[in-house]
Amino acid sequence: MRKHIAVGAFALTAAVVLGLTGCGSSTPESEEPTGEGAELVIWTDAEREEAITAAAEAFEEETGATVTLVQKNFEDLRDDFIAQVPTGEGPDITVGAHDWLGALVAAGVVDTIDLGDTASEFEPVSIEAMTYDGQLYALPYSLESIALVQNVDLVGDAAPATWDEMIQKGIESGAERPFVINTEGETGDGYTMYPFQTSFGAPVFVQDETGSYTSEVGMGGANGEAFATWLGANGANGTGYLSTTVDYDINNELFNSGKAPYTIQGPWAISAYPDVNVVVNPIPSAGGETAAPFVGVQGFYLSSQSENALLAQEFLVNYLGTEDAQRALYEADPRIPAWTALAEEVSSDPIIAGFVASSKNGVPMPSIPEMGSVWDLWNAAQVQIINGADPVSTWNTMVADVEAATAG
């Protein structure tokens, strides 16, 4: 579906109401691009289209450019962008997830952007997520993360600081299980288990001083072995708190029925708990360091083949990179805002506040191409250890296999 944004009376109203003109621009006024006769093509999905429309109408009124929105399924955006940008058929801008970034950079289809002073308005983790080799490639707008979800009626609303404290409170609650976590059954779920892994100081990849991920595997050595030992101690041959009989639906049923007072989940799962008085808190540490969950970020990428790159940069920074535009995006598709002031505002909802607090402890999911070689090996090793395999040797074999698979 192609939707042309017509210029009309509403466009001027939007420009006034949104206050978009010149906000946060890093472009000197004398060098601001003019758009007479130019067209910007933006790929979006249905959820974001209406919000982008308001900014696009104001942009057309201010610059004289034409903005064409092309609605696509979100699942198709990355592959279509990689395929079509080199042919000249792609858009100037596309919405997308941050963990596409490595593949987009490798394909040469995205360009860097400069947010200037506006960058300080965003949650640091969202800027970090959209940064690759020290260069910013997208305007962030939302983030999501998992957190500790607990049953207030069984264990109260206080956040446990450690795994041991959480388990003790869970036992004292009298519930069937003190804690439940999704392992995707026999598939494994390194994503959900990751905050416990990072609490042992064993990141999947090492980050450099800019926050960008390197290809150096970080989950080997003594710290990784300590995490693996913890997995085994809480698996089938130990406490049994971690079980490969639990998939996403079983996890949610156990928590919603009161059979477990704690679980680890994302905001997408809250609607599955209609029978529970829930509170959301940061994830407790199992290994002594901060439990840092993966944070996913969504934002807007600039095509490396845009014929109107300066105009597209102007739209990103001055028309989408404003509090009002970010608010419109939030209202169209309520995800945790990447815009700090807006994130604080919506945190008046205690459930959202809990996920925001958890995300502040988090790290971006690696966007480097090497991450694609990790998941199957990593998940399988965790399942094997939980099911009773020797923790240290199984983990070290996995690390060696990941290093071989990601060797450049």
Same fold for the pair 2-144+295-360 and 147-292+368-406: yes
CA dihedral 195→199→200→206, nearest 10 degrees, is 70
Residue pair 164/282 in contact by the 8 Å Cβ criterion? no
Q: Measured between alpha carbons, how far is 129 from 210 in angstroms, rounded to an integer?
A: 11
DSSP assignment, residue 317?
A: I
Residue 139 pairs with which residues in a beta bridge?
Answer: 300
Among 84, 105, 109, smallest CA distance to 370 is for: 105
60 exposure class (CB count in 10 Å sphere: 0-12, 13-18, 19+)? buried
The type of residue at 154 is: L
Q: Return the residue matching tokens 């260069």.
A: 135
- β 363-364/131-132 pair status: unpaired
pTM: 0.82
Q: What is the pLDDT along the chain (408 residues), one digit of tens a residue?
A: 333 333 333 232 333 333 333 333 444 443 455 677 899 999 999 888 988 998 999 999 999 999 999 999 998 999 999 999 999 999 999 999 999 999 999 999 999 999 999 999 999 999 999 999 889 999 999 999 999 999 999 999 999 999 999 999 999 999 999 999 999 999 999 999 999 999 999 999 999 887 889 999 999 999 999 999 999 999 999 999 999 999 999 999 999 999 999 999 999 999 999 999 999 999 999 999 999 999 999 999 999 999 999 999 999 999 999 999 999 989 888 889 999 999 999 999 999 999 999 999 999 999 898 998 999 999 999 999 999 999 999 999 999 999 999 986
- Angle at CA of residue 375, ends 268 and 75, nearest 5°: 50
Q: Return the residue matching tokens 């890093």.
A: 26
For domain 147-292+368-406, give the CATH superfamily.
Answer: Periplasmic binding protein-like II (3.40.190.10)
Q: Could you tell me how far CA 11 lies from the centroid of its own chain?
A: 32
The type of residue at 322 is: T
Query: Which H helix or E strand runs over 302?
Result: strand 294-303
Q: Measured between alpha carbons, how far is 209 from 247 in angstroms, rounded to an integer?
A: 37
Query: How many C-beta atoms surround the C-beta of residue 360 within 10 A?
Result: 15
Residue boundaries of the structural domains of the chain: 2-144+295-360, 147-292+368-406
Does the 2-144+295-360 domain belong in CATH 3.30.1330.60?
no
Q: How far is CA 30 from CA 116, 350, 395, in A?
A: 17, 46, 59
* Residue count of the chain: 408
Among 187, 352, 351, 294, smallest CA distance to 342 is for: 352
334 exposure class (CB count in 10 Å sphere: 0-12, 13-18, 19+)? middle
